[in-house]
A = this chain, B = another copy of it.
Amino acid sequence: MLEDLKKYVYEQNMRLPKLNLVNFTWGNVSAVDRNKELFVIKPSGVDYNKMKPDDMVVCDFDGKAVEGDLNPSSDTPTHAYLYKHFKKIGGIVHTHSPWAVSFAQAGIDVPALGTTHADTFYGSVPVSDALTKKEIESAYEYNTGVVISRTFKERNIDYMDVPAVLVRQHGPFTWGETADKAVYNAKVLEIVSEMDYHTLQLTRKSCEVPQFLLDKHYYRKHGRNAYYGQK
């Protein structure tokens, strides 16, 4: 069942250690089959070195495993919630990459301070509200999805324009049209978090980019008038 998707999800998971985005087993990638309303995700707590494509777990949009011998990632209900509510996304990534986590722990957005950011994220990457005691004590991972979704609604951010969030006190989730793009976005978020950290230490002057620079760089790479790369 979904053998090609399992292989693809396996390969996307294996990019995380290569891109220096995970330590130990602390990260996961999933990808969705929209027709079947199923997604494939990394098993929980399995070593990247020992993992095989067949270890990937197939889940439904309630986060229930429907195939596979292993437990799916403990973050599965978050992925399920996001696939259900962010209908345009094809893949999701969660990591504990250290620069992004530092902003998540500090409760500070990763601001758009330059073109590196604007090429990928159309505005600040938001930090979510902290989950409440009640949200944590019941259905924690599901509620993580709820809080992410609420953050984008309340702050009026289009989740395809800014395909990333920092869950407060936790770390980054990113997504995209495909799992491949979600992994790319996870790395870009880590890179701009590092750049922004150093920028904010160098100066206390506000240095967010103006809207017109954000427009220029974002639309140079996205949408119908994009002209970066090859046709």
- For chain A residues 189-214, which have a beta carbon within 8 Å of chain B? 191, 194-203, 205, 207, 209-210, 212-213
The answer on a CB contact under 8 Å between A202 and B116 is no
The answer on a CB contact under 8 Å between B98 and A195 is yes
Q: How many residues on chain A are close to B (CB under 8 Å)?
A: 61
Q: How far is the CA of A96 from the CA of B169 in the complex (A)?
A: 27
The answer on a CB contact under 8 Å between B229 and A44 is yes
**Contact A46-B115, Cβ < 8 Å, known A131-B213, A133-B212, A207-B106:** no
The answer on a CB contact under 8 Å between A136 and B213 is yes
Contacting residues, chain B, for A210 (C-beta < 8 A)? 130, 133
A116 partner, pick from B25, B26, B184, beta carbons under 8 A: B26
Contacting residues, chain B, for A229 (C-beta < 8 A)? 25, 44-46, 71
**How many Å from the CB of A21 to the closest CB on chain B?**
12
**How many Å from the CB of A71 to the closest CB on chain B?**
6
A198 partner, pick from B24, B170, B197, B207, beta carbons under 8 A: B197
The answer on a CB contact under 8 Å between B98 and A194 is yes
A218 part of interface (Cβ distance < 8 Å): no
A157 part of interface (Cβ distance < 8 Å): no
A146 part of interface (Cβ distance < 8 Å): no
Contacting residues, chain B, for A140 (C-beta < 8 A)? 216, 220
**Contact A230-B70, Cβ < 8 Å, known A113-B169, A198-B102, A209-B169:** yes
**Contact A213-B71, Cβ < 8 Å, known A101-B195, A195-B102, A202-B102:** no
